[in-house]
Structure 1
């Protein structure tokens, strides 16, 4: 980095007197900026779609890494590479401009929603739903500070956190990002995280060393959509909605939050990215917010009359920064033209830019003290990533978040006991961490193996350590088998990781019966069993609650699973209390609240509470309602489904493609996320000549394949679909003519049924003799009429 030490910083290019007041500095900068440079401040692309040369040419005001984005195309890049890229982009942004125009430092934003969880080796704290169960604002404040320190280590300026949604329906896939169904608890903890990230407003370290810009999101109503549908509509009396879903915002504003992110959802039919009465009149007028408003991923493109590349409506409604991951150039062009033709008044453009500059000045990016990312505070102190102090803090948070719902006396585990630890999640840190962990959707250990978590402990690690310390023995058996009869079994199971819309459910049924089967097995053998349930929300667990001797809601604890063991073994008292009511019904009704709850908000047992839990009804009509199976949808593979690639000549061995995304060089297949209706809800598949790509179910559900697809390039050689059959054979369908007709025609549907493939099996593959690119947004298996014809 020494070779770059002579690159001018923002102080020398902006040349503002240190004593100048905020308004004068901003006014001076605005007076010397061209329209193009002002518009560039409004543009926030993602690191995968531009280069440092683009930064130098266009001078983006900010940029971000998406949930699957990493420096130089490597989402698992070491921390040093994150810092190197931060310096590279900063240097490009502050290179001198001609004619005295000021060069304004850019800023990097990231989703560090439970620790700096995009970076390998960082501390992964429990998700917000778990922190809500602690009810401990001081703990959350300390976590915010630790997170800010680890963010600054990598040179990043801005955190898109905290989420202050007041989730009202646990079917919503983002429930775990919400602290609670209770708006007052959300307000208290949201404000505490802001103070931890930024420092206390008015204090000497506010936005100083070891602090970063915070963002309250998503304004507003993201947790109140009808039936918990992500990005859906929130309906009702506007004042009642503001009182419920808007209540956390005054608290975070009072704490000094410098940024607010607009929500994807609509309020009474109007998308928030274009909702001037709420973004401007309520947020700025009534609530007094003076920071910047940033959009969410292409959210402006969802406004009626807008596209991703043409949307003055958002700016006029009150948005200051467009999060436009990939289509930044045409959006910049359209905004410049709209300023020049008067569609966007210069006063509104200056207002938005002034807000951005004001935040940058407060954050130390403008002025005499501005420094390159690697020269700030604790930047480059990689030993602070998952430092012993931060790991101890995470372990404390995990322990304080454990909620005991049932205990027949098996907890705490007795000293000297022979403990069997079972379940596929027991030694899986990715599973315990949930979504927004190294990858946007997170992943289990087949996608995120243990080496991705070099500074972490699994739940198994913690149980082994604590049991050994008490003079006992612990044995790991993920499948639950044993040769020596244990005194007690601990079964760790739960939801597989997801993020956003991929986690939306139509009901509250937990359909994975791995844990249930193990608990029943131990019950029948007379072995006491403890259920440790990992989840991003309360779910209908009556069957598991009935058969377990103890049941612990562990939420998504993150990288310090030893905190779970601290409660199980009695090293710490169980102080966690439900921040969400626990459902009695599996059908998703009622939404959060005391009416119909099995366990109300605030419930939780101390270790010594062994009062019996009455038998619960196991009747659930939704369990039988499963006439289709999603193989791929909402950007993720279905349960038990794998994606695979290979070469037709056999030169490359067949290999799996985790999460249906990646560059499989040996096979000549590249799959990347594509936004059809939502962020990366689809995949773009590029096949080189002689390669293939396919999907396979572990358990054949039967039924026709229904595939939503779009052909991007016209086929120049044969492309076929090879489908397996239940009798061990295969059937090859020539798609060349159909793909040629479908080229450039937009999204279409393909149905592969028994009519063209008798005895249709569980595996399909697209095989290309020539290079071709197509997109897939969903693949389903459906029970259909026997007469259903195949179609393309």
Structure 2
């Protein structure tokens, strides 16, 4: 090998210095640089293919490292019930998420992906997670702010219940390596016939607005000098939140899911918009668009509400995400004119598209439309800038991979006790005794024989409802870990009390055992979205038969496990005490805490309880308001 000439050495040294210099000046990788500098530096380095890839969210089942690298995919999600394996541990989830992330980090620019999941009442897709009451119950708690006095006589703010639930949920989600949740749902359900009504806190926009306090729990408290509309996530123990479903999804005609919301602009702003304004003030990272329409215009194609109002008027600087195949559903039938749907959806201002499987077609069509000036590249740049802003703000570039430091947070005893507290505060006592002078509750713990009956007494899946382990939910006691109401009763009563359990007892059995009283637990089976739409809102059999067979013979308290008010008036005269327990989740002990007087009932209805479905829709403040139980109603008891 010959000697290297001096001029060549100089050239090589210069090239090395230039290379090192360039590496040192990758501003987007430097957390000391300002947020805007990092975004601008990275965006200008990206090709059109890399930009479009960031706008794509695919399902985890197809998100191989190779796919992530080849198509520069920006986000991955778990659909309802999509798990790495049945009863997967936190460690298994982390291994999967990190494997996908490594594919993203191996791309030219190393942009990390963000992983999203529906954690709508706790980390509900994951085995052993704490399952909190669904929002329909949490709205009952009405805890907006609590001030306590310390020993020095100074007041301090105690984090409200909903904020604590957000904090616990964030920890459990992060325990599995996931950084992004599709929550909270801030729909204002105006008709309980809607199959998603249990995802709504209330029919009252003020209560829904107040419950956005869950966002600082999920993301962290935004600083006082933060700019309005800029997303905020406080670090690797917090998650990016998603306010959904924008906007008016709770106001569809006859409560039909994904239907048309007929309301004037002022009504839309006064009823359905306030919680979005509050979410943006609190630094929410993302907003998900609704499948529904407003006065005939599909929300996924509504440029005025998505861009002009949300982004420009409300100054939202996070990213807007579609719902599952939401772009496809702009047309009827879905996907019938996909090119138009992409143009309309992306043009309306949707930044990230939940494809979730047919991503190559989306990429190809969008690439063609940009190259042919159908969609300007400036719209793509706006979308990617917003996506990068969230990723930078939450520290994904500095901490893209999860570790095992939080695995013990999943289903922790502290979180289960918090969920138990939430159950206690979410129950509403609607009737207590056939006369006010003879209340049935609280029940005596010591009795000779008591009966527990009903399809929902010993069924953890029914207790949790939809969006639990699977999309639609599932019955039985094997889906996850928790305490059924029957088990809670057995753990609460005096050891000398005999508990008899029959799911559907006949009248002869009820009359022949000299029961002191009965606890009847009935309600709706699990459901989600359109599968829950109901025009009759009746309790399925054998619920009504169980109420009749038991309550006509002995003193009974009926506990309703439902996602909304249901038809109960025909049975009310037979019932001694009536409790709305909604969908309480895994911690059934919270129900027993109130039935037996360890704590008192405090909950007040956040929904109007109708007499007949012919009255619907009926909301507080309506003319001819004539409910069975009005909004705000709830009897109280004292602890014994």
Q: Same fold (TM over 0.5)?
A: yes
2:105 corresponds to which residue?
Answer: 94
Deviation at 1:244, TM superposition (A): 0.8
1:597 corresponds to which residue?
Answer: 627
The 5-angstrom pairing of residues 571-650 of structure 1 reads 571-587=598-614, 589-593=616-620, 595-607=625-637
CA contact (8 A) 1:493 1:532 kept: yes
Q: Does 1:523 align with 2:534?
A: no
Q: Does 1:460 align with 2:490?
A: no
SS of structure 2 residue aligned to 1:45: strand
Structure 2 CA distance, aligned partners of 1:96 and 1:13? 15
CA contact (8 A) 1:506 1:588 kept: no
2:499 corresponds to which residue?
Answer: 474
The 5-angstrom pairing of residues 21-40 of structure 1 reads 21-40=34-53
Q: Structure 1 residue aligned with 2:526, among 476, 481, 497?
A: 497
Q: Structure 1 residue aligned with 2:216, among 170, 176, 195?
A: 195
The 5-angstrom pairing of residues 351-370 of structure 1 reads 351-366=382-397, 369-370=398-399
Structure 2 CA distance, aligned partners of 1:400 and 1:370? 37
Q: Does 1:404 align with 2:429?
A: yes
1:487 corresponds to which residue?
Answer: 516
**Deviation per CA, 1:636-669, whole angstroms, max 9, x where unpaired?**
xxxxxxxxxxxxxxxxxxxxxxxxxxxxxxxxxx
1:133 corresponds to which residue?
Answer: 140
Q: Does 1:147 align with 2:169?
A: yes
Q: Does 1:112 align with 2:119?
A: yes
- Judged with a 3 Å threshold, the aligned counterparts in structure 2 of structure 1 residues 13 and 51 are, in CA distance, closer, same or farther, namely farther
1:543 corresponds to which residue?
Answer: 570
Deviation at 1:528, TM superposition (A): 0.4
Q: Structure 1 residue aligned with 2:95, among 66, 84, 105?
A: 84
2:73 corresponds to which residue?
Answer: 60
Structure 2 CA distance, aligned partners of 1:149 and 1:541? 39
Deviation at 1:460, TM superposition (A): 0.9
Structure 1 CA distance, aligned partners of 2:503 and 2:192? 29
Q: Structure 2 residue aligned with 1:431, among 450, 456, 462?
A: 462
SS of structure 1 residue aligned to 2:628: strand
Structure 1 CA distance, aligned partners of 2:595 and 2:24? 54
Deviation at 1:519, TM superposition (A): 2.5
Structure 2 CA distance, aligned partners of 1:518 and 1:348? 59
Structure 1 CA distance, aligned partners of 2:102 and 2:24? 12
- Judged with a 3 Å threshold, the aligned counterparts in structure 2 of structure 1 residues 373 and 13 are, in CA distance, closer, same or farther, namely farther
2:536 corresponds to which residue?
Answer: 507
Deviation at 1:96, TM superposition (A): 4.3
Deviation at 1:608, TM superposition (A): 6.2
Deviation at 1:13, TM superposition (A): 8.8
| Greater RCO (Cα-Cα under 8 Å, separation 6 or more) | 2
Structure 2 CA distance, aligned partners of 1:422 and 1:11? 70
SS of structure 2 residue aligned to 1:217: strand
SS of structure 1 residue aligned to 2:369: helix
- Judged with a 3 Å threshold, the aligned counterparts in structure 2 of structure 1 residues 516 and 507 are, in CA distance, closer, same or farther, namely closer
CA contact (8 A) 2:28 2:37 kept: no
Structure 1 CA distance, aligned partners of 2:382 and 2:172? 33
* Higher fraction of strand: 1
- Judged with a 3 Å threshold, the aligned counterparts in structure 2 of structure 1 residues 63 and 96 are, in CA distance, closer, same or farther, namely closer
CA contact (8 A) 2:134 2:198 kept: yes
SS of structure 2 residue aligned to 1:343: coil
2:10 corresponds to which residue?
Answer: none
Deviation at 1:14, TM superposition (A): 7.9
Deviation at 1:542, TM superposition (A): 0.8
**Deviation per CA, 1:472-499, whole angstroms, max 9, x where unpaired?**
3433222334663220100111000000
The gaps in structure 2 that reach 5 residues or longer are: 1-22, 145-159, 227-231, 434-438
SS of structure 2 residue aligned to 1:142: helix
* Higher fraction of helix: 2
2:273 corresponds to which residue?
Answer: 246
1:751 corresponds to which residue?
Answer: none
CA contact (8 A) 1:590 1:596 kept: no
CA contact (8 A) 1:528 1:549 kept: yes
1:441 corresponds to which residue?
Answer: 472
Aligned length: 579
2:131 corresponds to which residue?
Answer: 124
Q: Does 1:19 align with 2:32?
A: yes
SS of structure 2 residue aligned to 1:606: coil
- Which 10-residue stretch deviates more, 324-333 or 76-85? 76-85
- Judged with a 3 Å threshold, the aligned counterparts in structure 2 of structure 1 residues 12 and 477 are, in CA distance, closer, same or farther, namely farther
The gaps in structure 1 that reach 5 residues or longer are: 1-9, 610-792
- Judged with a 3 Å threshold, the aligned counterparts in structure 2 of structure 1 residues 323 and 96 are, in CA distance, closer, same or farther, namely closer
Structure 2 CA distance, aligned partners of 1:343 and 1:165? 34
- Judged with a 3 Å threshold, the aligned counterparts in structure 2 of structure 1 residues 96 and 284 are, in CA distance, closer, same or farther, namely closer
Q: Does 1:335 align with 2:366?
A: yes
2:18 corresponds to which residue?
Answer: none
Q: What TM-score does the superposition give when structure 2 sets the normalisation length?
A: 0.87
CA contact (8 A) 1:410 1:550 kept: yes
**Deviation per CA, 1:156-195, whole angstroms, max 9, x where unpaired?**
0100000000000000000000000000100110x21111
Deviation at 1:509, TM superposition (A): 2.8
